[in-house]
Amino acid sequence: MKITSPVVGEVDVSADRVLSFPTGLPGFENCRQFTLLHAAESEAPRLFILQCLDDPEVVFSVTTPDILGLNYEFTLTDAETASLELTNPDDVSVLLIVRASVDDTPVHANLMAPLVLNTATRLGLQKVIGRVDTSVTLKAVA
């Protein structure tokens, strides 16, 4: 499938690169099919583009918590585990939506609504965390 991204231009996305969010994302419920893109010259990218395939104008910058020096832990409900068709914890990948800042902070990350992906089934959801008892600790970043 070919799409035209406002960030990277025309992109050909193969079926095995499509991530499905069956209920969409909060505020973007009609956006259910995405792909992850990164700069072609980067062998170990630190920042990705989560490009919506349903509406190519919808694009998010995402990264993994460890890139920000975070050890990020939370619990999935049984319903969330089922919706991801998750059977192996090793198949879980967590991404954080980030945005550039206008103040002195380089980026802001949405810690209260991480994206959770099952890398085996390519199913995802946005885990909205309503309580602040989530464990987030800083670790040294090399």
Q: How many helices (H) and strands (E) does the chain have?
A: 1, 12
CA distances to 78, 99, 122 from 63, in Å: 26, 10, 17
Mean pLDDT score of the chain: 86
The CATH number of whichever domain residue 96 belongs to comes to 2.30.290.10
Query: Can you tell me the mean pLDDT for 19-26?
Result: 95
Give the type of residue at 41.
Answer: E
pTM score, two decimals?
A: 0.84
When comparing pLDDT for 118 and 69, which is higher?
A: 118
If one counts the domains in the chain, the total is 1
**Domain that includes residue 119, residue range:** 2-138
Supply 1's token pair.
């499938």
